[in-house]
Chains A and B, each alone.
Chain A
Amino acid sequence: MKKAFKTLLTVSFGAAILFAGIASVPSVNGDSVEKMRVNVEQGETPDSGKVIYPPDKRVS
């Protein structure tokens, strides 16, 4: 009886930790992923990547 209780406790703890782990992983919003997928072929690409080029037009 005591052993069964211990097993149950271990399993419960395990499940709780697993659940907490899953809950803490940041979710990537499915809709926004889809939105971006749609825009993949149409959207703009930044012209500079990880550097900033000087402005060539009026800075609005």
Chain B
Amino acid sequence: MLYYSKTERTITVNVGSIIKYYRTKKGLTQTDLAEGICSTSHLSKIETNMYTANEETLNMLLERLDLRLEDEKNRMREIEDLLQEFIESLFAYDEEQIDYLYVQISEIKDYIETSDYVNLYHIYMYRYFVWGRMPEKEKEMLGILQRIKTTFTATEQNLYLFIQALNSSFSGDYKASIKLFKEFLDNPLPVSKFWIGEAYYQLALSYSHINQHEASVIYAKKASEVFEKESNWKRLIHTQMILGICYMELRLFTEATALYKPLVRNSRIFFRDSVYPHILSNYARCLLTSKEYVKARKLMEEALELLGKGSEQYMVVLLNWLESGLKIDLITEEWERNLDDFHDFSLNLENKYYFYYAVYLKKTQFSQVDGIKYAIKWLYPYLIKNSYYQEAEELLPGIIDYYSEKEDSEKVIYYYDQWRELIQKERSYNEEGF
């Protein structure tokens, strides 16, 4: 089958299913086709692959349908190649090719359903609908997969496991996703390298999302190796983006700088319209963490020029830009205008994270104390509740200072304890990752 390594190629043709497919297509009944060759019930058994016809009967049936077995074998090979190319394009995020192949495959959908590739077809289509953000079709295909999963071969079952792992990741259940991807990789079944590379990549992504950055680095490096060998440049850039985020979170600034310099250059050359501004933004965030405000702001300003106003990514960059302005006391008219925009966009997006930050910044702009009071009441609890520990940690020095000045030692101790807990959580997360 096509998901095995392609050293030896055995093509299986379900002759019965093919006969049924062409008979139906030509508008013939079983009686019409069987007349003078075999009985109708005999043909019925052949068509359902319950019975293998002898060569003579088979040839007569094929001849009546104007078919040649060799042609059908060739057609199966074409289907195999087509599906292989389709899934490879999906893994390489080759958008144009994905859509082109989807149309080609859809045109021969009925024929594929007569073949041994029917299960793979459904698994790949499901992946396509998930990638293409087609929730209705995705749901429909998931229903089909659940119905046919009892007919899966061992390898197909493993690919289905992969799909389930991916689903968990997309729905934000990263712990489940990690468990399932590891199960997929532990399975000693032969699957092509790109499945393995993608599983490593998804593990790196999931670990990073749950703040286990050290484990994420390990899997990102494994994924990079595969993507390099497979020349999957797009995914390689994506993997380096994850590595960049991890290095920053782990405060490995030397590694981060070494990574970002070529990453910024390569993405500017090859991915200017897609991930380049995202990479600029992440690099800027890294520079902000190491307190290189001026350089960081320059990068963010370039990213803001390239990103669509009000998009999720635009908001990320703008928030960092606004916060850095506040930190270095660069409150200009432009800053105020941008803060108003940020506030309005947060409402358009109905996004609490940005909204809380917008109000927090508005209050802090005029009074540090009001800002901190707001953070204590709204922003900080929200960040903790949604596991934005890094951001929560950033607020703690201000909160502790506020209570120190008020000489409220009980609260000072409470927030110091929270700080300790956050640091401990980070450490235990990383240990757990191993």
Contacts and interface: CB of A to CB of B under 8 A. Distances in A.
Q: Do A and B bind each other?
A: yes
Interface of A: 25-26, 28, 32-33, 35-36, 39-40, 43-60
A4 to B, nearest CB: 35
Interface string B335-368: 0000010010001001111110001001001100
A58 B238 contact: no
B133 A50 contact: no
A59 B274 contact: yes
For the residues of A in contact with B, the DSSP-based class is loop
A54 B209 contact: no
A50 B352 contact: no
Contact of A50 (B169, B209, B391): B391
B158 interface: no
Given A39-B350, A46-B354, A54 B388 contact: no
Contacts, number: 93
11 contacts: A26-B365, A28-B362, A36-B347, A43-B350, A43-B351, A44-B351, A46-B315, A49-B391, A54-B205, A54-B238, A59-B274
Nearest to A28: B359
Contacts of A46: 312, 315-316, 351, 353-354
Contact of A44 (B242, B316, B319, B350): B350
A50 B319 contact: yes
B236 to A, nearest CB: 11
Interface in B195-246: 205, 208-209, 237-238, 241-242, 245
B130 interface: yes
Given A43-B352, A53-B245, A35 B347 contact: yes
B282 A52 contact: yes
Contacts of A39: 350, 352
B386 interface: yes
B20 interface: no
Nearest to B248: A51
Contacts of B359: 28, 33
Contacts of A51: 245, 248, 281-282, 285, 316
Contacts of A32: 347, 355
